[in-house]
């Protein structure tokens, strides 16, 4: 069956503004679904062709003309026609390019709704593309990630996923799991004859190979998460060390309230910024100390939680006169408890310290990590600190050639579950358990892999994914 003869059961006609809200040179209003050619015909007039019919137009054709409502002319537009199944949604679709004034766009959308379209839900165009087989679920998510990408690396990773690289890898794994499941199901059908269609040794070898591939994808998640979300960077230290001042200095704006009173920050503040093409997800935390006051105590608990999740810890030390033994002890504690996190000690208030160089040297020797002298309030040493931060995480957020990365927590958890099911299957084989139990674990692993690309459809997951899309996408 050729693409032109594929039949798509089209949904009800939907319409939405596909470009950002606000004044601009141009805007796009798109419609898709059953009867959209008839709806558009009632409100569009093609320039110089009074007999023009959308139903006779070829796909990928643009037509210049005017849009009208009951009161008369709305705007001059270009109508771009897509015929099913050769459109993004695989339904009949039209995109109207008009002038970008919000009143103009509102009028065009309203006349389409008046003529029979329904306002699209968030992500409904992409959801229809998935349900009609145009893309799989992983590719649909990649479209959203591509739109919201804030760095070149995140954008390139999303484009790779949208092209189906990871999907192809998962589909190949799923085919192999299907093959093993089919052989085990055959054994169950012939259970009375005690037939073994796949030797347990061969099955163990196949599962070991699949496990190795799953682990590579699971291990890629940390790298993929950094590309998507940025380097989780936590500013930690005692109260009044200057953490909020440092946050403001790194962001280049007055984001956090600064006060000389200890304990001003009761909860964490999180912002993102880009330096040398690397995105840092910066978190200012409550000061670390023993407290009795309930709200401040909760703030300290949340600080430790954020520190435990950090890729990079900026531990801020006030060297203007305070005793540093407590800071050094906590730095060593963090190094032991969070070995995967990289750490920089920022020696703050060098402008107020009489012996800043000696203090920095002492910290460097005692802490055994990078130490950078700064004055957050005066902006001294901030450029050096930023350069050191970029150097410390160099390579973490860079794309390796030909790499396939997992960037979604949903995908990561599904892969972990699939891997656990294969572990269970291997243990059952080693202990000589029956075919039915082994087959159950393989089917579970198969379903978990299928959840990622949408081979196994969960309505709750679909709602969660597409509700995050904007209306019109």
* Shared-domain flag, residues 157 and 105: no
In DSSP terms, which residues pair with 44 in a beta bridge? Answer: 67
At 175 the pLDDT is: 92
Within a domain: 468: no
Query: Which pLDDT does position 393 carry in this prediction?
Result: 80
Query: Which residues, in sequence order, are bridge partners of residue 25?
Result: none
Question: What CA–CA distance (Å, rounded) separates 220 from 240?
Answer: 38
Least confident range of 200-204, 268-272, 426-430: 268-272
Task: Say if residue 154 is in the same domain as residue 21.
Answer: no
Q: Do 243 and 388 reside in the same domain of the chain?
A: yes
For residue 473, tell me if it sits in a domain.
Answer: no
- Same domain for 386 and 414, yes or no, is no
- Which of 134, 169, 192 is the last residue in one of the domains? 134
Query: Is there a single domain that holds both residue 379 and residue 416?
Result: no
Give mean pLDDT, residues 157-185. 90
CB neighbour list of residue 42: distance below 8 Å, 6 or more residues apart: 115
For residues 388 and 239, state if they share a domain: yes
| Domain coverage including residue 431 | 142-221+405-454
Confidence bin at 420 (pLDDT 50/70/90): very high
Say if residue 397 is exposed, middle or buried (CB neighbours under 10 Å; 0-12, 13-18, 19+). buried
Q: What is the pLDDT of residues 280-338, one digit of tens each?
A: 988 888 766 555 555 555 667 777 788 888 889 999 988 887 678 888 888 898 889 89
Separation CA 184–CA 195 (nearest Å):
10
The domain boundary, picked from 366, 392, 418, lies at 392
Both structure tokens of 354 = 């009489």
- Look at residues 30, 35, 29, 28 and name the one whose alpha carbon lies nearest to residue 11: 35
- 269-275, strands of its sheet edge to edge: 269-275, 278-284, 231-237, 312-318, 342-348, 370-373
| Nearest-angstrom CA–CA distance, 268 and 5 | 57
Taking only the tens place, the pLDDT of each residue in 440-453 is 999 999 999 999 99
Q: Is 226 domain-assigned? A: no
- What average pLDDT does the segment 12-38 reach? 94
Structurally, the chain folds into a number of domains equal to 3
DSSP letter for each residue of 249-304? HHHTS--S---SSTT---S-EEEEEEETTEEEEEEE----S---SHHHHHHHHHHH
Mark whether 240 and 210 lie in a shared domain: no
> Average pLDDT of the chain?
86
62-71, 80-89, 257-266, 419-428: which has the minimum mean pLDDT? 257-266
Same domain, 284 and 411: no
Q: How many CA atoms lie within 13 A of 446 on its CB side?
A: 15
What is the per-residue pLDDT for 296?
56
How many residues can be counted in the chain?
473
Query: Does residue 398 sit within a domain?
Result: no
């Amino acid at each position: 069956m050729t693409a032109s003869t594929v039949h798509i059961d089209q949904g009800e006609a939907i319409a939405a503004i596909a470009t950002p809200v606000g004044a601009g040179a141009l805007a796009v209003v798109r419609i898709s679904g059953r009867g959209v050619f008839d709806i558009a015909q009632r409100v569009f007039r093609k320039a110089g062709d009074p007999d023009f019919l959308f139903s006779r137009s070829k796909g990928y054709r643009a037509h210049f003309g005017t849009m009208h409502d009951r009161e008369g002319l709305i705007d001059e537009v270009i109508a771009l026609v897509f015929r099913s199944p050769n459109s993004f949604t695989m339904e009949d679709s039209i995109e109207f390019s008009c002038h970008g004034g919000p009143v103009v766009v509102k009028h065009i959308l309203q006349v389409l709704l008046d003529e029979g379209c329904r306002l699209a839900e968030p992500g409904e165009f992409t959801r229809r593309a998935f349900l009609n087989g145009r893309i799989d679920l992983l590719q649909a998510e990649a479209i959203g990630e591509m739109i919201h990408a804030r760095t070149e690396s995140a954008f390139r990773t999303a484009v790779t996923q949208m092209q189906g690289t990871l999907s192809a890898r998962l589909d190949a794994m799923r085919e192999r799991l299907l093959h093993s499941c089919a052989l085990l199901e055959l054994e169950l059908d012939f259970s009375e004859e005690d037939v073994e269609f796949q030797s347990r040794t061969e099955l163990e070898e196949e599962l070991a190979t699949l496990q190795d591939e799953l682990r590579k994808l699971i291990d890629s998640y940390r790298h993929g998460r950094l590309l998507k979300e940025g380097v989780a960077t936590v500013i930690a230290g005692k109260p009044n060390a200057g953490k909020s001042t440092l946050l403001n200095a790194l962001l280049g704006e007055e984001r956090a309230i600064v006060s000389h009173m200890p304990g001003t920050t009761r909860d964490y503040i999180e912002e993102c910024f880009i330096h040398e093409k690397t995105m840092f997800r910066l978190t200012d935390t409550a000061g670390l100390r023993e407290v009795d006051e309930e709200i401040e105590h909760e703030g300290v608990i949340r600080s430790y939680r954020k520190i435990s999740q950090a890729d990079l810890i900026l531990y801020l030390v006030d060297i203007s006169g305070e005793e540093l033994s407590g800071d050094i002890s906590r730095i060593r504690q963090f190094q032991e408890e969070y070995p995967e996190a990289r750490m920089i000690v920022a020696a703050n208030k060098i402008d107020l310290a009489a012996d800043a160089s000696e203090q920095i040297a002492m910290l460097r020797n005692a802490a055994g990590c990078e130490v950078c002298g700064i004055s957050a309030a005066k902006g001294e040493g901030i450029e050096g600190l930023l350069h050191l931060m970029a150097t410390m995480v160099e390579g973490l957020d860079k794309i390796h050639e030909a790499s396939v990365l997992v960037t979604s927590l949903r995908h990561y958890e599904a892969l972990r579950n699939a891997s656990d099911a294969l572990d269970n299957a291997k243990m059952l084989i080693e202990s000589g358990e029956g075919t039915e139990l082994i087959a159950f674990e393989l089917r579970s692993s198969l379903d978990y892999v299928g959840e990622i690309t949408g081979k196994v459809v969960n309505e709750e997951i679909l709602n969660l994914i597409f509700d995050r899309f904007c209306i019109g996408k």
